[in-house]
Structure 1
Amino acid sequence: MASFDSQPIVISFLKPLQGANDLADERVVELLVRGYVDRCLAAFRDAAEGRVSQDDAVDDIYQLASALNAVFLGTSGFHTLTVHPWNAADQLGVFLRDTLDLDFPPGECVRASLVHLATQIMLGVQQPQPEWEGMMEELTIDMRDLLLGRAPADDGEALPYA
């Protein structure tokens, strides 16, 4: 699979909001995460059905995670997104590194979190459909909350990212 320009893909995730693209807005963050989850599901399905190789599917997911890393860390250059001081490696990146116990530099922690999310999605779709659909929703909401700086509730269960 050839390298792709991720900017139109990321922008397409935000179309339902018609330009109100503030990274402090829960709806914006959720649309970006849902777009990523949907893209992961499509890539896994395409690989399983032989339309693309597994390597190409993984490459697609990794490139999109890298593009979203730049978006959430405020370095994407998208003029249609409003970023905040939180959207920086020394804020969001450190929060994700510490909260999820990631072994990556802060500037790569959004990408690492999203790649790990893709792994959880891949494992989830191997469950019976009613179970994985609920799991996808939970993973999406958890990632949305993490990207907004909300630590998961301590309910005694291990984080799916640890």
Structure 2
Amino acid sequence: MALTQQFARVTPDYLDRCRTSALTSPGASPGWDPPDGDLLDTGWALWGLIRYCRSTGADPEAIALLDRAVSGDPDGNVGFLDHDDVYDGFGDPPRLLAPAAVADVAAALDRLQLGDLLADMPASAEVAADVCGFGPRSDIDVREHLTEHFVALREFYRTAARHTQCVVTWID
């Protein structure tokens, strides 16, 4: 099974209920089960976008923003989500962006000009895929693939910010 980047929008109250469940349930299960509409799987696309931006010397602030949106903040208190019911244990445990951080990331994603970042994308699908770390593939339109997943991420964060939600990120 391929590793993919996962996101969940949840309320602080939901996280509190999960924390309480982890403390009181057998096996420390957090009872993690966000609604499907509050989940996002971006596959490898955003990792490819970040890799591409690094390879082109893109604005370090843009790279830091994308990395934060994908990786969460290191100081979120969600150790209780380090559980088999949440993720498969590959890589780091889930990380959190609190509502204020979500609002900041959402606003910054809205300001980010993806077209500018992708302006020098190689025309060859095979070369573009390779530069993004997808391997030498020619079966996708890389620019379209990156754009689709970036737009989904931006909308996901916008919605979370509008509802004062947290975003939890993890690799599964």
Is the TM value for this pair above 0.5? no
Q: Which has the higher helix share?
A: 1
Greater Rg over alpha carbons, structure = 2
Give me the TM-score of the superposition, normalised by structure 1. Answer: 0.29
Q: Which has the higher strand share?
A: 2
